[in-house]
Amino acid sequence: MICSQCGTNVADDSTVCTQCGANISPAASSGPAGGPSVLPPSASAPFPGQPAATPRPGSSLPPFSFDAKRWSRAERITGIATLVLFISLFLPWFTYNFGLGTVSVDGLWHGWMYLVLLLSLGIMAYLVARAGFSEMPFKLPIAEAQLLLIATGINAVLSVLSFVFKPGGIGFSGIGWGFGAFVGLAAAVIAAAPTAVPAIQARRAGH
């Protein structure tokens, strides 16, 4: 054994240190001789002097597992139509024939259609989250149906305005609609229909 006071080696059956006279406790002196040792709590920390990290309940997002079955029928229609609307913004919306050839501009020619672009991305991101999480990791300020109604309604109104107002003004000769304008207009209306129609019916029933 080793004396815990002066570190002198003493016989295993000794009760008093022959060097300093301190009482020898077998339990206290067995550690330095190679017995089992217990690391202090801070020893498991990733860096010296820092406490070990402990998991915090609720601090991480719920597991993501995409399942399209979580979508309702209305959400499926809205999601597909919004995706088509998003793609149509990069297709020819207006064309101009100047005799020697034809030029065209896409749906983003009108500056306000960038808002449609952002809203379409937001709608699709929301629907992906709806399909991926069994419980949404964030709380919405309004009901989900109202959120989709507002977003798709704005897209529909702006798409109609963009369709009607050609470059150069209404009735400007030489400028026609490209196929992207018809695709985008139809997609915007279809995307808004699943939430707009029930809202209109409920409003009429309330009067």
10-residue averages of pLDDT along the chain (207 residues): 74 74 61 47 48 52 82 92 97 84 88 96 93 80 86 96 81 78 96 88 74
**Strand (E) positions, the chain?**
92-97, 102-106, 175-177
Q: What is the pLDDT of residue 6?
A: 75
pTM: 0.64
Please report the pLDDT score of residue 15 as a whole number: 76
Q: What pLDDT does 142 receive?
A: 77
Q: What is the pLDDT of residue 23?
A: 76
Q: How far apart are CA 191 and CA 184, in angstroms?
A: 10
For residue 108, what pLDDT is reported? 94
Predicted confidence at residue 45, as pLDDT, reads 46
pLDDT at 87: 97
Give the pLDDT score at 184.
96
Let me know: does 75 contact 127? Beta carbons within 8 Å: yes
Note the pLDDT of residue 135: 78
Residues in contact with 193: Cβ distance below 8 Å, sequence separation at least 6, in sequence order = 77
CA distance linking residue 124 with residue 122, whole number of Å:
6
Name the strand (E) or helix (H) holding 129: helix 113-132
